[in-house]
């Protein structure tokens, strides 16, 4: 959970982290808060400059190191984690704005000063107005609070002209300009307002290349990077504390309510980090893309700093609320960042407006990547388009059955390209992305085997060659549909408590018991079934994994009607069902190991599109004017929904790139599962709020209400949210039982 993914960035982060530790910013900030608030430099500023941390992003021709905003963000994050005091952040924001503005004479001179260690600040929001004069502009007014303004050597200011257009200029001193320091919420930095009265700005001081869009992108990105550092520090501080603090005779970190709070802190930190990372990598993307990440950084990352800080305080108890504990210093800084970026709701609205017509491009392969594979896939898809549509759809969630198109794709390894040959193409993330692009370019959907998606990897990994030959290809061809017979009335989350029994008989096993909530069992040809083969063994050890032909005598499938009114899951009664020996996967009593199917076999997941409460649904509601609230409210809701989708996509993309860079996978997968469920729940609920009275009536063509009622399929799938939070608490955060 850090911005740095690539090796180079990780080294940079390590070196900045050790600078941060040496600088001991927390102690320095506490001891010298009055001096810092007045704009004085921290004692370690010269060392920071010697280490070139202030100039990493500045162009080489102006004395900088020529790296990018992604590298600068790594530095900001690490210094944020160390609560490095003083004007570092406002300085690098101001210098990055100038560097991006291009090489006017005034900018070149200022950049050289920045490279030499000058400090800076940028005033974004104006109460300043500019009037044309013969030699430039006359500016009047009082700015909003500006971070780092008191003490800044170089000030970039922004005023609005008579037409409401921004005029950016460097501030020269003089009697007409007054800077007043204010009492900042963040005790470790200066903040103040700029008052200009008849202040003359010569044309030479106008920063023509600076745009609001670029300036806001840089500010939000670097604020988000610092908030990421804060979210990480507060998480590790809370986790460290609850592992050792004891109440009721045990570590408080062993209480589930406490564990889930800590797990949610990790989720927030990862989401914020992904948003900050995505914003930082947008340097070379086009202006529309940067506008999207600018808003997303404000919506998704800045709140993570504030929310995690408060949660850290609650987990620390009374001690967290004391002046002596450092957490309030981080909390204050997080509040200050979120406030200075502007209202989260306004950014959500901005994101919503943008999302009506554009979306973030999360692709990570260029159009010309792997041309040979592209040509191979294109040739298959061309053949496919010449074939008649399979059009043999089953009902509900069941996949298509058979058909010539499906057979062609299965034969070409394109139904599950990540499987090894001959079933797939052994495709890694890059190849899978190229294949997905080729399908998408033709408006074709990649087929899915639905429950086969997690049955087949188990057979591939643990099944006999005979089982693989018998089941894999027909499933990929859509000739076999699977169901999963795991849950039982007495064994849900605690699946290993199952009681369906398998008794050994000549040539096979007799299965008896009851399964429940089995999706598609009424349509399935085969089921994977867990049954107890050794009742005397500890509960995880006496279970076996069977492949059950659903037409075997003794299998009784009874559809259950769900809250939606549809019948997609079932209860399945097994009465002395004979399963031949060749349908036991692996050895008897090894079933638990198989049931915990390895995540490494999961299909590459790039999408952030949510099944429930998706942004597409919001867009439709807006297009049809179906909202009963104001358009602005509906657009804001679209902005929040878009933010949730972007967060998931960025998280997924980071996971994929980490795999490509051979970095140990972090907590992305567990976090994505929890966040995905929560995002769908929130998105779907928000959608109902927009609809007002229309949500009291069923609309068969676009039923958001039934979609909402269908949420449990997501909330329970692959383990409930609570179970996922248990996994994060124990396996990722290492909290005690």
Instruction: Find out whether 153 and 120 touch, Cβ atoms under 8 Å.
Output: yes
- The minimum distance between CB 724 and ligand FAD, in angstroms, equals 9
- The minimum distance between CB 547 and ligand FAD, in angstroms, equals 15
- The minimum distance between CB 513 and ligand FAD, in angstroms, equals 12
Among candidate residues 256, 112, 119, 257, the one with its CA nearest the CA of residue 189:
119
- The minimum distance between CB 723 and ligand FAD, in angstroms, equals 6
Give the residue with the Cβ less far from ligand FAD, 277 or 517. 517
Span from 14-22, 119-127, 433-441, 722-730 in contact with ligand FAD (CB under 6 A): 722-730
Segment 680 to 719, residues that bind ligand FAD, using CB under 6 A: 712-713, 716, 719
Give the residue with the Cβ less far from ligand FAD, 471 or 517. 517
Tell which phi-psi region holds residue 249, choosing left (phi > 0), alpha (psi between -120 and 50) or beta: left
Cα distance between residue 298 and residue 354, in whole Å: 14
Segment 561 to 620, residues that bind ligand FAD, using CB under 6 A: 569
Task: Show the site string, 427-466: x = touches ligand FAD by CB under 6 A, - = not.
Answer: ----------------------------------------
Give the residue with the Cβ less far from ligand FAD, 590 or 720. 720
Among candidate residues 533, 552, 535, the one with its CA nearest the CA of residue 594:
533
- The minimum distance between CB 412 and ligand FAD, in angstroms, equals 29
- Give the residue closest to ligand FAD by C-beta: 492
- The minimum distance between CB 710 and ligand FAD, in angstroms, equals 8
Give the residue with the Cβ less far from ligand FAD, 667 or 677. 677
Instruction: Find out whether 688 and 705 touch, Cβ atoms under 8 Å.
Output: yes
Q: Total number of residues binding ligand FAD (CB under 6 A)? A: 18
- The minimum distance between CB 678 and ligand FAD, in angstroms, equals 13
Instruction: Find out whether 315 and 262 touch, Cβ atoms under 8 Å.
Output: yes
- The minimum distance between CB 35 and ligand FAD, in angstroms, equals 50
- The minimum distance between CB 495 and ligand FAD, in angstroms, equals 7
Token output for 187: 């005790």
Give the residue with the Cβ less far from ligand FAD, 605 or 720. 720
Give the residue with the Cβ less far from ligand FAD, 188 or 487. 487
How many CB atoms sit inside 10 A of residue 716's CB? 16
Helix/strand/coil (H/E/C) assignment for every residue in 567-633: CCEEEEEEEEEEEEHHHEECCCCCHHHHHCCCHHHCCCCCCCCCCCCCHHHHHHHHHCCCCCCCHHH
- Cα angle 331, 335, 338 (rounded to 5 degrees) comes to 140
Give the residue with the Cβ less far from ligand FAD, 390 or 571. 571
The Cα-based distances of 423 to 154, 412, 477 in angstroms read: 63, 8, 10
Radius of gyration of the chain (CA): 29
Instruction: Find out whether 570 and 518 touch, Cβ atoms under 8 Å.
Output: yes
Give the residue with the Cβ less far from ligand FAD, 191 or 524. 524
Q: Does 649 bind ligand FAD (CB under 6 A)?
A: no
Give the residue with the Cβ less far from ligand FAD, 143 or 518. 518
| Residue found under tokens 């006017």 | 104
Give the residue with the Cβ less far from ligand FAD, 137 or 517. 517
The Cα-based distances of 470 to 85, 495, 705 in angstroms read: 66, 28, 42
- The minimum distance between CB 153 and ligand FAD, in angstroms, equals 55
User: Is the bond leading into 422 cis (omega within 30 degrees of zero)?
Assistant: yes
Task: Show the site string, 504-533: x = touches ligand FAD by CB under 6 A, - = not.
Answer: -------------xxx--------------
- The minimum distance between CB 564 and ligand FAD, in angstroms, equals 9
**What is the torsion angle, in degrees rounded to the nearest 10, for the CA atoms of residue 111, residue 113, residue 115 and residue 117?**
-140
Task: Show the site string, 551-570: x = touches ligand FAD by CB under 6 A, - = not.
Answer: ------------------x-
Span from 122-130, 135-143, 171-179, 721-729 in contact with ligand FAD (CB under 6 A): 721-729
- The minimum distance between CB 454 and ligand FAD, in angstroms, equals 10
- The minimum distance between CB 395 and ligand FAD, in angstroms, equals 15
Instruction: Find out whether 279 and 291 touch, Cβ atoms under 8 Å.
Output: no
- The minimum distance between CB 187 and ligand FAD, in angstroms, equals 40
* Near ligand FAD by CB under 6 A: residue from 117, 363, 720, 730: 720
Task: Show the site string, 461-500: x = touches ligand FAD by CB under 6 A, - = not.
Answer: ----------------------xx-xx----xx-------
Instruction: Find out whether 571 and 483 touch, Cβ atoms under 8 Å.
Output: no
- The minimum distance between CB 727 and ligand FAD, in angstroms, equals 10
**What is the torsion angle, in degrees rounded to the nearest 10, for the CA atoms of residue 641, residue 643, residue 646 and residue 652?**
-90
How many CB atoms sit inside 10 A of residue 17's CB? 17
Among candidate residues 236, 311, 228, 257, the one with its CA nearest the CA of residue 733:
236
Give the residue with the Cβ less far from ligand FAD, 56 or 516. 516
Give the residue with the Cβ less far from ligand FAD, 487 or 641. 487
Cα distance between residue 572 and residue 504, in whole Å: 21
Give the residue with the Cβ less far from ligand FAD, 220 or 726. 726
- The minimum distance between CB 528 and ligand FAD, in angstroms, equals 9
Q: Helix axis angle, 327-341 relative to 212-244, nearest 10°?
A: 160
Give the residue with the Cβ less far from ligand FAD, 137 or 569. 569
Instruction: Find out whether 157 and 121 touch, Cβ atoms under 8 Å.
Output: no
Give the residue with the Cβ less far from ligand FAD, 119 or 484. 484
- The minimum distance between CB 332 and ligand FAD, in angstroms, equals 34
Cα distance between residue 430 and residue 432, in whole Å: 5
Burial of 43 (0-12, 13-18, 19+ CB in 10 A): middle
Backbone phi, psi, residue 204, to 5°: -65, -20
Give the residue with the Cβ less far from ligand FAD, 305 or 613. 613
Please report, for the chain, how many H helices and E strands are present, in that order.
25, 18
Q: Helix axis angle, 69-81 relative to 212-244, nearest 10°?
A: 40
Q: Are strands 501-505 and 508-516 parallel, antiparallel or unpaired?
A: antiparallel
Give the residue with the Cβ less far from ligand FAD, 371 or 717. 717
Provide CB contacts within 8 A for 198, sequence distance 6+. Answer: 138, 140, 176
Cα distance between residue 331 and residue 75, in whole Å: 20
Per-residue exposure over 543-575, b if at least 16 CB sit within 10 Å of its own CB, e if not:
bbbbbbebebeebebeeeeeebeeebbbbbbbe
* Near ligand FAD by CB under 6 A: residue from 208, 365, 373, 723: 723
Q: Which residues of the chain form contacts with ligand FAD (CB under 6 A)?
A: 483-484, 486-487, 492-493, 517-519, 569, 712-713, 716, 719-720, 722-723, 726
């Amino acid at each position: 959970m850090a911005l740095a993914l690539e090796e180079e960035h990780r080294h940079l982060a390590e070196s900045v982290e050790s600078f941060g530790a040496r600088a001991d910013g927390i102690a320095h900030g506490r001891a010298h808060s009055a001096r810092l608030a007045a704009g004085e430099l921290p004692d370690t500023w010269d060392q920071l400059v010697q280490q070139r941390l202030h100039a990493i992003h500045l162009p080489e021709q102006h004395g900088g190191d020529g790296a990018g905003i992604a590298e600068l963000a790594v530095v900001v994050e690490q210094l944020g984690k160390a609560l490095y005091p003083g004007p570092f952040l406002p300085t690098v924001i101001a210098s990055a704005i100038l560097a991006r503005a291009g090489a006017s004479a005034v900018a070149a001179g200022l950049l050289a000063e920045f490279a030499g260690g000058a400090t800076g600040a940028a005033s974004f929001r104006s109460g300043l107005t500019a009037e044309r004069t013969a030699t430039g502009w006359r500016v009047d007014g009082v700015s909003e609070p500006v971070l780092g303004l008191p003490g800044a050597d170089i000030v970039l200011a922004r005023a609005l002209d008579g037409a409401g257009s921004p005029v950016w200029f460097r501030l020269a001193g003089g009697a007409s300009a007054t800077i007043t320091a204010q009492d900042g919420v963040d005790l470790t930095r200066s903040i103040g307002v700029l008052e200009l009265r008849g202040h003359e700005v010569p044309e030479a001081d106008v920063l023509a290349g600076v745009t609001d869009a670029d300036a806001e992108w840089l500010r939000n990105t670097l604020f988000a990077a610092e908030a990421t550092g804060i979210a990480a520090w507060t998480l590790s501080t809370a986790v460290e504390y609850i592992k050792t603090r004891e109440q009721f005779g045990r570590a408080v970190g062993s209480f589930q309510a406490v564990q889930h709070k800590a797990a949610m802190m990790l989720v927030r930190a990862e989401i914020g980090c992904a948003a900050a990372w995505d914003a930082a990598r947008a340097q070379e993307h086009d202006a529309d893309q940067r506008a999207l990440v600018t808003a997303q950084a404000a919506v998704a990352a800045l709140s993570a700093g504030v929310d995690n800080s408060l949660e850290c305080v609650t987990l620390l108890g009374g001690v967290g609320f004391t002046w002596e504990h450092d957490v309030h210093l981080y909390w204050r800084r997080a509040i200050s960042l979120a406030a200075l970026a502007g209202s989260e709701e306004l950014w959500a609205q901005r994101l919503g407006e943008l999302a009506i017509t554009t979306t973030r491009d999360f692709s990570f392969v260029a159009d010309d990547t792997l041309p040979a594979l592209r040509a191979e896939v294109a040739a298959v898809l061309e053949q496919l388009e010449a074939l008649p549509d399979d059009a043999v759809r089953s009902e509900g969630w069941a996949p298509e059955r058979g058909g010539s198109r499906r057979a062609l794709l299965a034969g070409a390894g394109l139904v599950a390209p990540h499987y090894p040959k001959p079933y797939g193409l052994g495709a890694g993330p890059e190849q899978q992305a190229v294949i997905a692009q080729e399908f998408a370019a033709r408006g074709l959907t990649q087929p899915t085997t639905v429950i086969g998606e997690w049955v087949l990897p188990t057979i591939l990994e643990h099944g006999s060659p005979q089982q693989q030959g018998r089941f894999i290809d027909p499933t990929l061809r859509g000739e076999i549909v699977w169901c999963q017979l795991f849950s039982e009335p007495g064994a849900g989350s605690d699946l290993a408590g199952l009681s369906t029994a398998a008794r050994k008989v000549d040539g096979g096993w007799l299965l008896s018991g009851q399964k429940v909530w089995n999706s598609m069992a009424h349509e399935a040809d085969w089921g994977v079934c867990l049954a107890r083969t050794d009742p005397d063994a500890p509960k995880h050890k006496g279970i076996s994994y069977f492949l059950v032909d659903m037409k075997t005598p003794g299998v009784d499938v009874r559809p259950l009607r769900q809250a939606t009114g549809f019948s997609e899951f079932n209860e399945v009664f097994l009465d002395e069902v004979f399963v031949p020996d060749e349908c036991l996967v692996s050895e008897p009593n090894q079933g638990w190991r198989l049931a915990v199917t390895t995540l490494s076999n999961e299909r590459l997941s790039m999408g952030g599109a949510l099944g429930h409460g998706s942004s597409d649904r919001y867009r439709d509601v807006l297009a049809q004017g179906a909202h009963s609230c104001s358009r602005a409210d509906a657009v804001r809701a679209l902005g929040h929904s878009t933010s949730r989708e972007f967060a998931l996509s960025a998280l997924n993309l980071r996971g994929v790139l980490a795999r490509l860079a051979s970095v140990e996978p972090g907590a992305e997968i567990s976090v994505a599962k929890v966040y995905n469920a929560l995002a769908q729940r929130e998105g779907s609920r928000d959608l109902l709020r927009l609809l007002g009275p229309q949500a009291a009536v069923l609309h068969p063509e676009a039923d958001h209400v039934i979609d909402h009622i269908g949420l449990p399929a997501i909330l329970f799938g692959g383990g409930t949210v609570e179970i996922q939070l248990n996994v994060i608490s124990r396996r990722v955060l290492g909290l005690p039982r």
